[in-house]
Amino acid sequence: MNKKVAFYTLGCKLNFSETSTIARSFEKEDFERVDFSEKADVYVINTCSVTENADKRFKAIVKQAQKSNPEAFVAAVGCYAQLKPEELAAVDGVDLVLGATEKFKITDYLNDLTKNDKGEVHSCEIEEADFYVGSYAIGDRTRAFLKVQDGCDYKCTYCTIPLARGISRSDTLENVLHNAKEIASKDIKEIVLTGVNIGDYGKGEFGNKRHEHTFLDLVKALDTVEGIHRLRISSIEPNLLKNETIDFVSQSNSFVPHFHVPLQSGSDEILKKMRRRYLTNLYVDRVKRIKKAMPHACIGVDVIVGFPGETDEHFLETYHFLNELDISYLHVFTYSERDNTVAAEMGDVVPKNVRNKRSKMLRGLSAKKRRAFYESQLGSLRTVLFEGENKLGYIHGFTENYVKVKAPWNPELVNTLHQVELISIDEDGLVRFEFVPENVMA
């Protein structure tokens, strides 16, 4: 009987792509992959340092694994495992904790799967995380997350990612294209490019700061891969989103008109305290440039509320800045202190209840922005890629510019692209459509 392994992934798309790579290494060792809710011999938890209450979440997931099989071997990998290895190793039931460089060699550490009295830690100094491991994840058969870059050289005062993932480094262009072709061969219609700071692509391509390629080179090369209908840029820093990239995407065969551009604050004073590498005027310029090249483009924005020293005036500055900007939705993060960051030592701490109130206000603004964007798209012809899940009798899908649509469940639509006309917005905020005859695409 093959041994069984199950995975639980917390956090970002990058983590999901890396879990898939780790899972493939288990398959090479003749493990059978099962769902995390099932009985397995090994449970691997890929942790995240960004989520609130990361330690509580982790403990609950370990308990879930132990409930399924009290004798199972439990391993923790990922960002939280790099930052707080001893803390995770002390959790009852954890046998192995692997840091940033060790996680891709996890099968080397599984000798006899005997449970340990205390978790064994193999964690490097983060300076040693200077090599690159390419990966991609196939989510729900319709799209894949393709990792192109890892680590970050930025020193934002609130962020632990450089401590958890090391310096900025990239996959070789040749390997990215190889992975993209492999994904295309599996009849997957969409690739989402992921990384920690993907606009920095190229840096560390040869294991040092020398590099041959830029993010624009990457985008141009991927646009030539046959069999991929859609390419989506997940998140890119405003200072690294160049005019040439925006212009290329607007004319491209496969790249869709959807950008996710972190802002974090609409106050220049707070941006400086965060040590971001731009001010609000550059951000406005990026949004205008995208909308000029692609008026129907969807623009998502990350924003943090409650950063130390953020007064009511600073927050209102952010609120009004976003309200006036031609954007489509927000991802709102409530600031939380992280050990070993500059921001955690700053004074003028914003009370938790004030942070939560500001977060709620921005989430309300996001709903308003999304609604306005969806309304602006009604009557237009768009192409929808349908998802694979039956949600309460409906099938959902996304247009190229990230409008979410719904229709009565039809399994024949799963993983197909169809041209539609957007008709109306349902009470749940999703868009209804009509198929455009004669233009149906396989």
Q: Are residues 215 and 244 in the same domain?
A: yes
Burial of 435 from C-beta contacts in 10 A (0-12 / 13-18 / 19+): middle
CA distance 305 to 263: 11
pLDDT value at position 104?
A: 85
CA distance 81 to 88: 7
Burial of 425 from C-beta contacts in 10 A (0-12 / 13-18 / 19+): middle
Q: Are residues 293 and 361 in the same domain?
A: yes
| Single-letter code of the amino acid located at 159 | C
pLDDT value at position 139?
A: 58
Residue 129 phi, psi (nearest 5): -80, 75
pLDDT value at position 409?
A: 96
Contact yes or no for 339/292 (Cβ under 8 A): no
Residue tagged 């974090």 (tokens): 264
Tokens encoding 40: 């397995």
Q: Are residues 423 and 411 in the same domain?
A: yes
Q: How many domains does the chain have?
A: 4
Closest CA to 333 of 364, 304, 292: 304
Closest CA to 289 of 267, 261, 269, 317: 261
Domain containing 293 — which CATH number?
Answer: 3.30.750.200
Tokens encoding 2: 């093959």
Classify residue 244 by its DSSP letter.
Answer: H
pLDDT value at position 378?
A: 98
For residue 46, the SS3 value is strand
Q: Are residues 231 and 284 in the same domain?
A: no
Residue 73 phi, psi (nearest 5): -90, 125
Q: Are residues 12 and 96 in the same domain?
A: yes
| Single-letter code of the amino acid located at 107 | T
pLDDT value at position 205?
A: 60
Q: Are residues 202 and 223 in the same domain?
A: yes
For residue 144, the SS3 value is strand
Q: How many other C-beta atoms can be found within 10 angstroms of the C-beta atom of residue 390?
A: 13
Residue 145 phi, psi (nearest 5): -100, 120
Angle at 115 between CA 113 and CA 116, to 5 degrees: 120
Contact yes or no for 162/154 (Cβ under 8 A): yes
Return averaged pLDDT per consecutive 10 residues of the chain, 442 residues in all: 90 86 89 94 90 78 94 92 89 90 85 67 62 68 88 92 87 93 92 94 69 91 95 95 97 97 98 97 98 98 97 98 98 92 95 96 97 98 94 95 97 95 96 82 44
pTM for the model stands at 0.85
CA distance 128 to 302: 30
Q: Are residues 240 and 179 in the same domain?
A: yes
Strands 96-98 and 73-78: parallel
pLDDT value at position 125?
A: 60
Q: Are residues 355 and 432 in the same domain?
A: no
pLDDT value at position 438?
A: 64
Burial of 60 from C-beta contacts in 10 A (0-12 / 13-18 / 19+): exposed
Q: Are residues 30 and 115 in the same domain?
A: yes
CA distance 257 to 231: 10
Q: Which of 126, 158, 188 is the last residue of a domain?
A: 126
Residue tagged 């169809």 (tokens): 418
Q: Which of 256, 272, 300 is the last residue of a domain?
A: 256
pLDDT value at position 425?
A: 98
Q: Are residues 156 and 246 in the same domain?
A: yes
| Single-letter code of the amino acid located at 41 | D
Q: Are residues 252 and 264 in the same domain?
A: no
| Single-letter code of the amino acid located at 259 | F
Q: Are residues 107 and 45 in the same domain?
A: yes
Q: Which of 325, 351, 372 is the last residue of a domain?
A: 372
Range of the domain at 61: 4-126
pLDDT value at position 339?
A: 87
Which residues does 82 contact at the CB level (< 8 Å), separation at least 6? 49, 99, 100, 123, 126, 129, 163, 164, 165
Which residues does 7 contact at the CB level (< 8 Å), separation at least 6? 19, 22, 23, 33, 36, 43, 44, 45, 46
Domain containing 401 — which CATH number?
Answer: 2.40.50.140
